[in-house]
């Protein structure tokens, strides 16, 4: 009996020791919703003449240890990996490097650090600095990254040496990270000029990969000096660099004449037509050229082509696409993909898909009425096959504008009444595909114009410290992502016919004059255009225009 008691006591001691060794937080209690934070660091920020080899960071609660491994950043970077040791809520960093003499080091604890119980992440990074010499560098850069999900974005600063250096291949001199609120801080910078970038580092290697990493570039020179130790408004907007041209990802026959083709990314269909495609028979080496190219009912990145002739049986057939640009202007000069023809007659006539207006419920603009019409198959655009009229039978003159071989815009030459119903008649007997398929009937479609009472508006002033002759104001819908662009005139702006909803507003100086925001580039290094965000979200309601907004341009 005594022996069993001794064994039980030993077992209890082992369990207790194991519990202490793991340093686990206690369980139970209410749900934890508070983010963790740093409550103490040793050495304290601002310490000079530091000659130790360990750094201690104490958190407000127990931390998920695995979240820390890629969330500690040291500037200047260390040669050897840091050793991590835990004691309760305190993390001890053991430095294997010999620190450089008379050097300021900054340590950033990234916002990706999360607590143990509920995986709550830190609200923002924590940065502190110390020096191995008598003085400490006090240069400081702060700002904000504007992005839908800025948490974890890296901020990398490079000492500027020349105008032609490739920083994408360099190791950064200073590193920080962005929190959930988009804010960041670079601390302990020495005097000098810097190139600073924001980056979503997909590979976690602190190297910019042009087709993988979202990036942002500074919009002004960053110079830390005795008279300018702090820069507080270095903000960034992110974009994805793209140097890869589009490629054909799929092609298949629908019948003997029509083929569905698909690209691996969005292409600029406004610069593509039927002459960009042909099929080639491997036996005869004969080319069969596309006669129509159109979107039709194609899904994302999908289009159709129609041939005049059927392909011969036997052998292999290939689809060739030439000079296909993506939305960033990358051009695929020639692409080829195998395709299997089928023997199936096309017996269906082009079917009407519908009309589109620029406003919700496909309502048409009453001031500048444009009606987009789409069919599911290509056809030659006939003469006099459309009538647009009001309910009293009054007809409207128009002109047609081709979108592709199955869609067109009807551009009315006169203004329409608001909130009124109109009729569009299409003589389908004049719309035939390449096989002559058509429907001997007249299609009647009703459409409605928008009402100014359905919209909101925004107006105000742009206050600029510099040249305000080329400032654009952008209103972006939080719900749909739709943008309203307006160029400011005499430091004033007015955006009308805005669909009700919640919006963010920003402005930029269009320094290159291309009418859109330029993000700059890392390779070659080129500054982004200056921009500023309005601090509040706008809740725009119908019939309630918002005026008197002051936008400050940097």
d(CA 458, CA 17): 66
Backbone torsions φ then ψ of 305, nearest 5 degrees? -130, 150
> How confident is residue 70, by pLDDT bands cut at 50, 70 and 90?
confident
According to CATH, what is the number of the domain 248-339?
Answer: 2.60.40.1220
Calculate the average pLDDT of the chain.
91
Domains in the chain: boundaries: 38-240, 248-339, 352-452, 455-553
Per-residue tokens: 33: 């919703």
pLDDT (0 to 100) of residue 21:
44
pLDDT (0 to 100) of residue 53:
93
- pLDDT, tens digit, 9 for 90 and up, residues 99-131: 999 999 999 999 889 999 889 999 889 999 999
Identify the three-state secondary structure at position 61.
coil
List strands edge to edge, sheet with 492-498.
Answer: 492-498, 456-464, 546-553
Among 214, 200, 335, which residue's Cα sits nearest to residue 264?
Answer: 335
Maximum pairwise Cα distance, the chain:
109
User: Residue 58: how many CB atoms within 10 A of its CB?
Assistant: 15
> How confident is residue 22, by pLDDT bands cut at 50, 70 and 90?
very low
pLDDT (0 to 100) of residue 424:
98
Identify the three-state secondary structure at position 274.
helix
pTM, rounded to two decimals:
0.84
- pLDDT, tens digit, 9 for 90 and up, residues 371-398: 999 999 999 999 999 999 999 999 999 9
| Residue 458 and residue 539 in contact, taking contact as beta carbons nearer than 8 Å | no
Distance of CA 103 to the CA centre of its chain: 38
pLDDT at 43 over 60: yes
Mean pLDDT of 488-512: 94
pLDDT (0 to 100) of residue 28:
54
Mean pLDDT of 166-182: 89
Q: What is the DSSP string of 148-169?
A: SS-TT-EEEEEE---TT--GGG
- pLDDT, tens digit, 9 for 90 and up, residues 212-240: 999 999 999 999 999 999 999 999 999 99
- For the chain, give the percent of residues with pLDDT over 70: 94
- pLDDT, tens digit, 9 for 90 and up, residues 176-198: 999 888 999 999 999 999 999 99
To the question of domain 38-240 being in CATH 2.160.10.10, the answer is no
| Residue 388 and residue 446 in contact, taking contact as beta carbons nearer than 8 Å | no
pLDDT (0 to 100) of residue 27:
55
By CB neighbour count within 10 A (0-12 exposed, 13-18 middle, 19+ buried), where does 439 fall? middle
Pairing mode, if any, of strands 104-109 and 471-477?
unpaired
- pLDDT, tens digit, 9 for 90 and up, residues 416-470: 999 999 999 999 999 999 999 999 999 999 999 999 999 999 999 999 877 667 9
pLDDT (0 to 100) of residue 19:
45
Tell me the β-bridge partners of 145.
236
Per-residue tokens: 387: 């009538």
pLDDT at 13 over 50: no
Common-topology check for domains 352-452 and 455-553: yes
Preceding peptide of 213 cis, ω within 30°? no
| Mean pLDDT comparison of 137-141, 150-154, 311-315, highest-scoring range | 137-141
According to CATH, what is the number of the domain 455-553?
Answer: 2.60.40.10
pLDDT (0 to 100) of residue 26:
53
Pairing mode, if any, of strands 139-146 and 230-231?
parallel
Tell me the β-bridge partners of 95.
none
| Residue 211 and residue 202 in contact, taking contact as beta carbons nearer than 8 Å | no
pLDDT (0 to 100) of residue 376:
97
d(CA 210, CA 267): 19
Please state whether 283 falls in left (phi above 0), alpha (psi between -120 and 50) or beta: alpha
| Residue 406 and residue 375 in contact, taking contact as beta carbons nearer than 8 Å | yes
- pLDDT, tens digit, 9 for 90 and up, residues 269-279: 999 999 999 99
Backbone torsions φ then ψ of 54, nearest 5 degrees? -130, 150
Tell me the β-bridge partners of 239.
215
> How confident is residue 17, by pLDDT bands cut at 50, 70 and 90?
very low
| Residue 362 and residue 447 in contact, taking contact as beta carbons nearer than 8 Å | yes
pLDDT (0 to 100) of residue 69:
84
The CATH class that applies to domain 352-452 reads mainly beta
Among 536, 446, 466, which residue's Cα sits nearest to residue 508?
Answer: 466
Backbone torsions φ then ψ of 507, nearest 5 degrees? -140, 160
pLDDT (0 to 100) of residue 273:
97
d(CA 157, CA 179): 17
Among 158, 235, 225, which residue's Cα sits nearest to residue 517?
Answer: 235
């Amino acid at each position: 009996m005594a022996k069993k008691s001794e064994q039980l006591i030993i077992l209890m001691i082992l369990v207790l020791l194991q519990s202490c060794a793991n340093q686990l937080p206690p369980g139970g209690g209410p749900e934890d919703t508070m983010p963790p934070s740093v409550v103490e660091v040793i050495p304290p920020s601002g310490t000079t003449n530091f000659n130790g080899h360990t750094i201690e960071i104490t958190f407000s609660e127990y931390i998920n240890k695995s979240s820390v491994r890629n969330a500690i950043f040291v500037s200047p970077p260390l040669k050897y990996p840091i050793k991590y040791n835990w004691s309760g809520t305190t993390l001890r960093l053991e430095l294997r490097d010999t620190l450089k003499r008379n050097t300021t080091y900054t340590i950033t604890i990234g916002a990706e650090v999360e607590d143990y119980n509920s995986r709550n992440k830190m609200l923002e990074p924590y940065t502190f600095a110390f020096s191995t010499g008598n003085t400490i560098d006090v240069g400081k850069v702060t700002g904000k990254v504007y992005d839908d999900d800025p948490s974890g974005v890296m901020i990398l600063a490079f000492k500027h040496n020349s105008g032609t250096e490739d920083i994408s291949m360099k190791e950064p001199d200073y590193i920080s990270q962005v929190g959930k609120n988009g804010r960041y801080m670079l601390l302990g910078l020495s005097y000098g000029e810097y190139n600073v970038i924001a980056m979503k580092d997909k590979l976690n290697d602190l190297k910019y990969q042009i087709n993988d990493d979202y990036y942002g570039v500074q919009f002004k020179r960053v110079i830390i000096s005795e008279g300018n130790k702090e820069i507080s408004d270095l903000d960034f907007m992110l974009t994805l660099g793209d140097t890869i041209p589009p490629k054909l990802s799929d092609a298949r026959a629908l019948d003997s004449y029509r083929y569905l083709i698909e690209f691996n990314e969005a292409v600029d269909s406004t610069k593509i037509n039927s002459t960009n495609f042909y099929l080639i028979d491997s036996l005869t080496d004969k080319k069969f050229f596309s006669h129509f190219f159109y979107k039709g009912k194609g899904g994302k990145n999908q289009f159709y082509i129609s041939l005049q002739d059927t392909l011969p049986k036997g052998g292999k057939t290939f689809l060739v696409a030439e000079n296909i640009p993506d939305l960033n202007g990358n051009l695929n000069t020639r692409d080829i993909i195998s395709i299997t023809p089928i023997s199936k007659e096309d017996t269906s006539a082009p079917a009407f898909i519908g009309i589109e207006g620029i406003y919700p419920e496909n309502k048409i603009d009453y001031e500048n009425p444009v009606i987009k019409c789409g069919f599911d198959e290509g056809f030659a655009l006939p003469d006099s096959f459309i009538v647009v009229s009001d309910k009293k039978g009054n007809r409207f003159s128009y002109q047609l504008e081709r979108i592709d071989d199955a869609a067109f815009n009807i551009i009315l030459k006169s203004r329409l009444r608001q909130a009124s119903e109109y009729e569009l008649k299409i003589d389908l007997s004049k719309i035939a595909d390449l096989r002559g398929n058509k429907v001997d009937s007249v299609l009647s479609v009703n459409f409605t114009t928008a009402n100014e009472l359905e919209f909101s508006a925004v107006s105000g002033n742009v206050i600029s410290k510099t040249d305000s002759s080329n400032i654009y104001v952008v209103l972006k819908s939080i719900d749909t992502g739709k943008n309203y662009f307006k160029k400011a005139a005499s430091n004033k702006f007015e955006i009308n016919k805005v669909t009700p909803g919640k919006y963010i507003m920003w402005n930029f100086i269009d320094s290159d004059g291309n009418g859109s925001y330029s993000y700059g580039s890392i390779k070659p290094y080129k500054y982004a255009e200056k921009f500023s965000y309005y601090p509040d979200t706008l809740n725009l309601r119908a019939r309630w225009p918002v005026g008197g907004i002051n936008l400050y341009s940097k």
